[in-house]
Amino acid sequence: MVLAGDFKCAPGTRTRLPACAVPSPVNAFAKTNYPAAEYRVFAAFRIWTVINYFFPYKDLQGEDWDAVLRQFIPRMENAANALEYHQAVAEMVSHIHDSHGFVHSQVLREDGGSWRAPVEVRIIENVPVVTALLDEKAAKDAGIEIGDVIYELMESRPWNVWLAFQNTCRPPHLNSNCSTGLRAFWLGPRARWQT
């Protein structure tokens, strides 16, 4: 009789599985900021495919996702430079109306700058209100206090741009998009790391 304590495993003859069973994603055009036209169009189809087949709230978007694809194929194809291409990608992703869809792009970061507001802003009764001072000295130097309503900013990001963005916050179930968008709008490119 063989007891479990006497069991010895024979050395395996099978090849070892890779640590990651999922193949690496195809990044044929990740090496350039401005890929050839066919790869730019392919990017539109990749974005469309991921959302069409894997996004659980596609039916709640309030948009015809096929129409979005038709709209962005010529935009991607006709992008005259890297900035226009990256803007088209970011805009197409924004049509999912979900704050989990975002684009990391050095081109967009360089275009947008690396500024950051010294305040936390929330929309209260449809206007942006300062609710916290993140850098008290900078805020005091600018004459900003908690409770101030912001109607426009000096030099960049006027209030009407935010109002245009706010129009993309449609169905009530997507309200977190508005707060996420507001944070990104007022705090700038580093906003996604803020709490």
Q: What share of the chain has pLDDT > 90, as a percent? A: 25
Smallest Cα–Cα separation from 81: which of 116, 124, 32? 32
pLDDT score of 176: 52
91 compared with 25, residue with greater pLDDT? 91
Q: Which of 4-13, 100-109, 132-141, 164-173 is the least confident region? A: 164-173
Smallest Cα–Cα separation from 91: which of 72, 110, 107? 72
The model's pTM: 0.58
Say which residue the tokens 């968008």 belong to.
Answer: 181
- Tell me the average pLDDT across 22-36: 72
Structure tokens at 82: 């890297």
pLDDT bracket for residue 88 (50, 70, 90): very high
Contact 68, 95 (CB under 8 A): yes
Residue 91 main-chain phi, psi, to 5 deg = -70, -40
15 compared with 43, residue with greater pLDDT? 43
pLDDT digits (tens, 9 = 90+) for 152-162: 655 554 455 55
- Tell me the average pLDDT across 9-28: 68
Smallest Cα–Cα separation from 101: which of 112, 91, 116, 114? 91
pLDDT score of 3: 61
Smallest Cα–Cα separation from 72: which of 49, 106, 45? 45
pLDDT score of 31: 76
pLDDT score of 193: 33
Rounded Cα gap, residues 30 and 11, in angstroms: 42
